[in-house]
Structure 1
Amino acid sequence: MRGFGELEAAIMNVLWNRGEPTSVRQVHTDLQPERRLAYNTVLTVVDILYKKGRLRRSKDGRAFRYWPVESRADYGMQLMRDAMAESGDPAGSLVTFVRHLSDDESAALRQALGTYER
C-alpha cells in the first residue's frame, strides 16, 4: 500500500471530513478556499481514486457521489504496518516509533492498549 499524492490526500481529507457520499462538485468547492483547481482536475483525480479501489460511488442523477472505502484511521494503520514490514525489523521500528512519541501520544497509546487488553 502506498501513500496518496498531495491532491489525492486533499480529496480524501475532504471526503473523510464530510463523512457522507459527496459529489465531485462538492469536493471541488471544499478545496477552493486553499487550492485553485479546475473542476476537471478534481474529477480526474476522484476517478483515479475510484479506479484504484480507494473510493466507492453511487449514481445520483447524472452525477456520482463518492465516499472512502476505509476510514482515515484504517488508512493510517495500514501505512504504519506497511512501513514497519518494509523496515526489515518491524519490532525495532515499533520500539523506535514509541520512543519518539510525545507525552500526549504516549498517553493515547496507553489508553488504547488498556482498552484493547480488556
Structure 2
Amino acid sequence: MSTTQPAPGDRASENGRRRPGQLEAQVVTILVEATGPLTPGEVRDRLDPGGPLSYSTVVTTLTRLFDKGAVRRERDGRAYRYGAVRDAAGLVAERMSRLLAAEPDRTSVLRRFVGTLDDRDERILRALLREDAE
C-alpha cells in the first residue's frame, strides 16, 4: 500500500493549524491517487500515519467535500467509501470562483489578486489568457 506523506510545507503550521482548505486539498489528493474508493480510516492512515489527525476530523472533511460535490461516496456496510470527483487543483479553482462570485466589485478583487502574483505565476496567467483569446 502506498502512502502519501504531505510535503514539509504541507504539514500543520507551528501553531498546529493548517491553512484554509489545505486539509481538503490533501484529502482530495489522497483520493485521486487511490486505486479505488477509501474509508475515512484509510484516508486518515494515508494522510497522517500514527500522527495526531483524528478520525472525526477526516470524516468531517470528507462530509464537507461530499456536500460541495468534490467527492462521491458509496455505502459499505455502516460506513462510506469516498472517491475523488476532481483533483486538488479543481477544488482550489472552484473555491476561488465561489469567493469571486460573492464579491460585488470583481474588478478590484481581480486587480489586487493579479498584483499579488509573483513573476512566474503572472507569466503563467498571461499565457493562459492568450490561449483563451486564440
TM-score surpassing 0.5? yes
Residue 32 (1) aligns with residue 45 (2): no
Query: Across the two proteins, how many residue pairs are aligned to each other?
Result: 113
Shift of 1:105: 0.5
| Cross-structure match for 2:26 | 13
2:64 to 42, 49, 68: 49
SS of equivalent to 2:72: strand
Structure with a larger share of its residues in helix:
1
Shift of 1:94: 0.6
Task: Give ranges in structure 2 of 5+ residues lacking alignment.
Answer: 1-17
TM-score when normalising by structure 2: 0.61
Alignment of 1:1-118 (within 5 A): 9-19=22-32, 20=34, 21-33=37-49, 35-39=51-55, 41-42=56-57, 44-46=59-61, 48-49=63-64, 52-54=67-69, 55-60=71-76, 63-118=79-134
Provide the C-alpha distance between the structure 2 equivalents of 1:44 and 1:32, rounded to a whole number of angstroms: 14
Provide the C-alpha distance between the structure 1 equivalents of 2:62 and 2:116, rounded to a whole number of angstroms: 38
Shift of 1:74: 2.9
| Structure 2 CA distance for partners of 1:17 and 1:110, relative to 1, 3 Å | farther
Q: Give CA deviations for 1:72-114 in whole Å, capped at 9, x if unaligned.
A: 2333223223333333310121112112210011011012112
Give the share of equivalent positions with the same residue, in percent: 25
RMSD value, Cα: 3.2
TM-score when normalising by structure 1: 0.67
Runs of 4+ in 1 over 6 A off after TM superposition: none
